[in-house]
Amino acid sequence: MTVLNEKSHDGAPDSPTEFDTVIVGAGFGGLRMLHEMRELGLSAVAIESGSDVGGTWYWNRYPGARTDSESWMYAFPIPEIQEEWNWTERYPTQPEALGYLNFLADRLDLRRDIRFHTRVTAAEFHEEKQIWTVHTDAGDTLTCTYFVPAAGPLNVPYKPDFDGLADFQGEWHVSGRWPHEGVDFKDKKVAVIGTGATAVQIIPVIAHTAAEVTVFQRTPNYVLPARNYTLSDEQRQGIRADYDRIWEQCRKHFFGFDMQPAGRTIHDVTAEEAQKILEWGWETGGFRFIFETFDDILVDPKSNKVVADFARDKIRSIVKDPETAELLCPKDYPIVGKRPPLGHFYYEAFNRDNVHLVDVSTTPISRITPTGVAVGDQEYEVDIIIFATGFDGQTGSYTGLDIRGRDGVKLSDKWADGPRTHLGIGVDGFPNMFMVGGPQAPFANFPVIIDGVADWIGRAIRFMNDRGIKSIEPRPEAVEGWRQKVNAIVDATVLSEGPHSWFLGTNIPGKPKAALFYFAGVGAYRDDCNEVADRDFDSFALSPA
């Protein structure tokens, strides 16, 4: 397996080295934590490998990149930002999402505490002084009381190690490390490897300029129509006036959206009514198809099948070539068994003469040749290869750093069989380390998770200061309890049935299968976190100063 990372840094030899907090990353999580630390009156620095803020939205500049969350919920409830920032579309493009984070960084004056072009390489906890030492590839050694990795769930791209790539005579690119100067597809033959959320965004866009687009699909996805639209001034004003209610609902909703549970299961309605409701969901678009139609899709296989059949029928009705349509239909796993991508005329793209689908489910890609991609004995000649092959999700962002807790224990060793955390925030043996939406935190609209976790960390630190506590770390039994809970929840849903799922780490060869997310919903997670805090953090061991 190849895991990709850029290496370069500015270096900052004369900069301060002692902080209350060192934060890893300046994406949504890092920026929100920097803001939180300022509010607490603590000194903080964020270390960011990119040349600017943005995280996911800095790296993923591929054509068609945009959020799958509706813009007005893909943001933080910071009043001055809500008041001044204007979204233009239902699903913001990558430049707009990046623009939002730039605006936030400027408006809150966060940049002065961020070191760009610098990568955290290692961090270790010192028992005697109860501090963390953090090392960077700029040669800095920083010390801090609180070590806050906010490296994001999808920060380490995964590219399969196909033989022959070194001799490929064309260009190749990885979607999650897209060149800033862009890629010229005009009159080029392009291979897209992968059909996850990323490829689903890329394919219809590049099909307009490329001569040929050949898509290599291992597992078809249930792609939901996004139904994007531009926002009018009136809609923007309505959203602005409604932010308090929107956020209240996001904090309660299972996946952190301002969406209303349907209040019914598929068994409550006739088969005919079910089809009408699903039709409404399909036309309304996005995740509303899942979350506002029936409440049992994730847990009842019978209901799930009705919805999956509906989606398959839609694919067959859109894609004109019956053979291609059948290949695009997921057959052997439930809808939401893998994270469903949102499409912007994805299936329609396969009706174009210049878009071709190659099934690599039974005969895999055998090698990259000097002039193309080989599947068995068949070679597909191309000028450009795009690897949209996913990420070493959730744990990769942490195990790639050399993080050592008490007694020099490495986090990657501790997690050799899968992540072990309490609330997706703390790890036993790693005092005063707070992960922002780490493994075993919920899978949901991420800014909502981050905002709640940042509040919780702020509350924990205030509590520590009030009580004269020097260090906090989860009790081992709380970590084991959380692991069992997180696994039991996944087992009770259809989520464990999707092949090669990054929810479970099974998309990465050799990675242990484990539930990487808490799937009881954002509301339940907030309750769990608040209960711990209300009980004076009793599932954590607290050491006095």
Phi, psi of 224 (to 5 degrees): -95, 140
**Does the footprint of ligand NA7 cover residue 388 (CB under 6 A)?**
yes
CB of 348 to ligand NA7, least distance (A): 19
Give CA–CA dist 195/323, Å, rounded: 17
297 binds ligand NA7 (CB under 6 A): no
CA pair distance 519, 377, nearest whole angstrom: 43
Identified binder of ligand NA7 from the candidate list 507, 518, 526, 532, rule CB under 6 A: 507
The number of beta carbons lying within 10 Å of the beta carbon of residue 304 is: 23
Phi, psi angles (nearest 5°) of residue 54: 135, -30
The residue from 19, 255, 456, 502 that contacts ligand NA7 (CB under 6 A) is 502
* C-beta of residue 176 within 8 angstroms of C-beta of residue 4: yes
The answer to whether residue 196 forms part of the interface with ligand NA7 (CB under 6 A) is: yes
Residue number, 390 or 429, with CB nearest to ligand NA7: 390
Please tell me whether residue 198 binds ligand NA7 under the rule CB under 6 A.
Answer: yes
If one asks whether residue 324 binds ligand NA7 (CB under 6 A), the answer comes out as: no
160 in contact with ligand NA7 (CB under 6 A):
yes
Q: What CA–CA distances, in Å, run from 135 to 146, 403, 433?
A: 14, 10, 15
What is the distance between the alpha carbons of residues 238 and 183, in angstroms, rounded to a whole number? 38
133 binds ligand NA7 (CB under 6 A): no
Check residue 164 for interaction with ligand NA7 (CB under 6 A).
no
Q: Is 194 in the site for ligand NA7 (CB under 6 A)?
A: yes
CB of 158 to ligand NA7, least distance (A): 7
User: Which range of residues in 109-117, 192-200, 282-290, 489-497 is near ligand NA7 by CB under 6 A?
Assistant: 192-200
Establish if 173 lies at the interface with ligand NA7 (CB under 6 A).
no
Sequence-distant (6+) residues with CB within 8 A of 232 are none
Residues 398-427 that bind ligand NA7 (CB under 6 A): none
Is 177 a residue that touches ligand NA7 (CB under 6 A)? no
CB 153 within 8 Å of CB 446: yes
Q: Is 508 in the site for ligand NA7 (CB under 6 A)?
A: no
Contacts 24+ apart (CB under 8 A), 479-485: 479/420, 479/421, 479/422, 479/427, 479/428, 480/420, 481/539, 482/421, 482/422, 482/423, 482/424, 482/440, 483/418, 483/419, 483/420, 483/421, 483/440, 485/518, 485/520
Among 105, 151, 199, 514, contact with ligand NA7 (rule: CB under 6 A): 199
- Considering only residues 208 to 237 of the shown chain, the ones binding ligand NA7 according to CB under 6 A are 216, 218-219
- For the CB of residue 347, give the shortest distance to ligand NA7 in the complex, in Å: 15
Q: For residues 476 and 428, is the Cβ–Cβ distance under 8 A?
A: yes
Q: Which stretch binds ligand NA7 (CB under 6 A): 41-49, 196-204, 300-308, 452-460?
A: 196-204
Beta-carbon contacts of 196 under 8 Å, excluding residues fewer than 6 positions away, are 221, 338, 339, 341, 388, 389, 390
Kindly tell me which residue out of 23, 37, 75, 193 binds ligand NA7, with binding defined by CB under 6 A.
193
- Judge contact between 450 and 29, C-beta under 8 A: yes
Least distance in Å: CB of 175 to ligand NA7?
6
By CB under 6 A, tell whether 197 contacts ligand NA7. Answer: yes
Return the residue of 155, 195, 445, 539 that touches ligand NA7, per CB under 6 A. Answer: 195
378-381 and 372-375 strand pairing = antiparallel
* Residue nearer to ligand NA7 on the CB measure, 287 or 434: 287
Angle, helix 522-534 to helix 446-467, in steps of 10 degrees: 0
402-404 vs 384-387, strand pairing mode: unpaired
Angle between helices 94-107 and 28-40 (to 10 degrees): 10
Q: Which is nearer to ligand NA7, 388 or 469 (CB)?
A: 388
Residue 519 Cβ, how far from ligand NA7 at the closest point, in Å? 14
List the interface residues with ligand NA7, window 471-500 (CB under 6 A): 500
Q: Is 204 in the site for ligand NA7 (CB under 6 A)?
A: no
Number of residues that bind ligand NA7 (CB under 6 A): 23
258: Cα separation from own chain's centroid: 19
91 in Cβ contact with 224 (< 8 Å):
no
User: For the residues of 404-471, what is the DSSP string, one character each?
Assistant: E-GGG-BHHHHTTTS---BTTTB-TT-TTB--SS-TTSBPS-HHHHHHHHHHHHHHHHHHHHHHTEEE
Name the residue nearer to ligand NA7 (CB basis): 6 or 163.
Answer: 163
Q: Which of 154, 191, 423, 516: binder of ligand NA7 (CB under 6 A)?
A: 154
- Which one of 389, 395, 445, 493 is in contact with ligand NA7 (CB under 6 A)? 389
- Verify binding: residue 440, ligand NA7, rule CB under 6 A: no
Q: Which stretch binds ligand NA7 (CB under 6 A): 121-129, 222-230, 358-366, 471-479?
A: 358-366
Q: Does 303 bind ligand NA7 (CB under 6 A)?
A: no
Dihedral-angle region of residue 239 (phi above 0 means left; psi in -120 to 50 means alpha; beta otherwise): alpha
- Contact residues toward ligand NA7 (CB under 6 A) are 154, 160, 193-199, 216, 218-219, 339, 360, 364-365, 388-391, 500, 502, 507
